Structure 1
């Protein structure tokens, strides 16, 4: 393992993280609807294993990336990259066309499960972050993209799909991603609708014609279309940028967890099966998570995590010096975040003290 393969060069000292015989790895409650997918979708395996197993889509990230990765540190923690894809193919075409027809990662979160799986930290990476991108294989072409020292973060997914997104995050953080999970627009909506909606409280009206969102102030039960509008809106709240949208996404995740904990779906086999079907249809995962048995085992291990057990931040960033419409990671503060997770420690408050990432008023609009 070279220093370069560890991102910033921070040490990953200590024994490598052991791989249990059954490859009992984990994804986490994050991203647009990963909470529902894992806690509900995975738990339905006992009903129609073959049907649910056939719903899942997988990518073999380990094979693509090979050995050019950070060390697999054995400290009991797990790290997962969760992406919400901005592909407009198939049913997602209702949301417009991609620039150039390519898929993009509209949402990116690194989910860190602390030892014991009783607490988690979630680090949102703004899609407009300017960062170095490593060379990546271009899926389906047989060629490689050389990357570059200054690229927009979400271009990694466009260039090389899930594997390139994982490789870019690993270079940024120096942390090996144990798993990958992706949820698309249509799958997200289906999960929320199957759940019966998600309740949120807005402290002021939110109206955004771009995301078709029109919510009054006060309690709102969001259906799938409204929930998608909320997590995608950039114009209805805050300064119209990606940082405010991230805070809305984080608020929605907490509301979703509360909804999952409170609806009692585990007492209704039919509701559980419907949620399992919707959840597994929404997912693309790494190969190690590509069966419902693996998802179910992990989901059961996460049932003790509540919204209060999540530490959620945006990667410490500042306005990019070259392009004011982009952001750049704060080197010292970002290192504080990744070092803490690598050591399985809470992220220190000082890491976000000077960041513009968590300062948007959007964070106070949804509760």
Structure 2
């Protein structure tokens, strides 16, 4: 019997209460950690791990909320999923995210991940949160209907109608079916990086951003969780101060995280493996199709062949909004090249991302 939705309003209110049989999920590599924790600990311990990790999980019924009026699923074995970093302004996230503890939430980072046929490579397209878009009418988890709106910021979709509205907006923009949804919040991200022992990056110039509380000298650094979070949130410390520069830092950190997971040697350290799996399953929320440890195991197994070198990462083609320097507008013809390439399971053509706004942060930080 599914758990009842949490009463209240706002994105956090759509999530199911944590119960031993509830559904919640981890992200790309967290699935592998979860599976390995169950297998490595073995015996009676495996049963305990399964119940404990399964009880950590929280899910959102995206398919139920969006209904049948959606793009068709790909028939070639490729998959798309939307990954959001949530900028929640409550609880432990208030200190990390800044701002008032008003209980609101926004999508602070958004990536469309396309896993190509064969699951050996992936294309990742970051969507600037400040992109001006037309948001379609959508329904939230409590059945509330939110009217369509033209010319609004992309991250208003999540703030207005939560995960389902964010997915519907992305599908409307791209005409691509989002097969899965994953969301991670600030506190969970920070803890996960710390559990992994930090991530290593190299900066080519000093970074000093009081807004994100990040201060680094040029050189190689092993970032702890708080510093890594500061890096993915840095906006005024690099480039032109726009969201585009921050996206380039986020993409670099994703590569560094994937590399760190491979270097930690989790399979030979069962206790650390379990700690990371426990942190990951508490940190991330996804669609209900990935709502159990078994589902996560299967999902991870299909992604284990993807390495940092086989991930092609770009930003959705945009241009600066002449009416507002803090907004960007989609370059529709170039963006269509991106979406068509993913729909056809082809590489994103270079022409799609040349001559577009970049934020001026390229090369400032690299994954060591």
TM-score by length of 1: 0.87
Please report how far the alpha carbon of residue 34 of structure 1 lies from its aligned counterpart in structure 2 after TM superposition: 4.0
- 1:304 match: 305
Name the CA distance, whole Å, in 1 between partners of 2:111 and 2:100: 22
Residue aligned with 1:360, SS: coil
Q: Is the 8 A contact 1:200 1:366 kept in 2?
A: yes
Counterparts of residues 65-80 of structure 1 (less than 5 Å): 65-80=66-81
Structure 2 unaligned regions, length at least 5: 1-24, 40-45
- 1:114 match: 116
- 1:183 match: 184
Offset from partner CA, 1:287-340 (integer Å, 9 cap, x none): 001111111222123222111101000000001243222011101100000000
Name the CA distance, whole Å, in 1 between partners of 2:238 and 2:138: 36
Q: Is the 8 A contact 1:235 1:241 kept in 2?
A: yes
Following TM superposition, the consecutive aligned residue runs of length 4 or more in structure 1 with deviations greater than 6 angstroms are none
Is the counterpart of residue 37 in structure 1 residue 30 in structure 2? yes
Structure 1 unaligned regions, length at least 5: 1-26, 28-32
The verdict on how the C-alpha distance between 1:157 and 1:240 changes in structure 2, with shifts beyond 3 A counting, is same
Offset from partner CA, 1:79-127 (integer Å, 9 cap, x none): 0000000012221121333596421000000000001110000000000
The verdict on how the C-alpha distance between 1:201 and 1:349 changes in structure 2, with shifts beyond 3 A counting, is same
The verdict on how the C-alpha distance between 1:199 and 1:135 changes in structure 2, with shifts beyond 3 A counting, is same
Name the CA distance, whole Å, in 2 between partners of 1:99 and 1:323: 28
Is the counterpart of residue 322 in structure 1 residue 323 in structure 2? yes
Is the counterpart of residue 288 in structure 1 residue 286 in structure 2? no
Name the CA distance, whole Å, in 1 between partners of 2:216 and 2:307: 26
Is the counterpart of residue 63 in structure 1 residue 64 in structure 2? yes
- 1:336 match: 337
Name the CA distance, whole Å, in 2 between partners of 1:238 and 1:39: 35
The verdict on how the C-alpha distance between 1:107 and 1:61 changes in structure 2, with shifts beyond 3 A counting, is same
- 2:158 match: 157
Name the CA distance, whole Å, in 2 between partners of 1:109 and 1:130: 16
Q: Is the 8 A contact 1:36 1:279 kept in 2?
A: no
- 2:126 match: 124
- 1:20 match: none
Residue aligned with 1:326, SS: strand
- 2:12 match: none
Q: Is the 8 A contact 2:90 2:102 kept in 1?
A: no
Residue aligned with 2:172, SS: helix
Q: Is the 8 A contact 1:104 1:155 kept in 2?
A: yes
- 2:245 match: 244
- 1:198 match: 199
Comparing 257-266 with 93-102, greater Cα deviation is found at: 93-102
Name the CA distance, whole Å, in 1 between partners of 2:81 and 2:280: 18
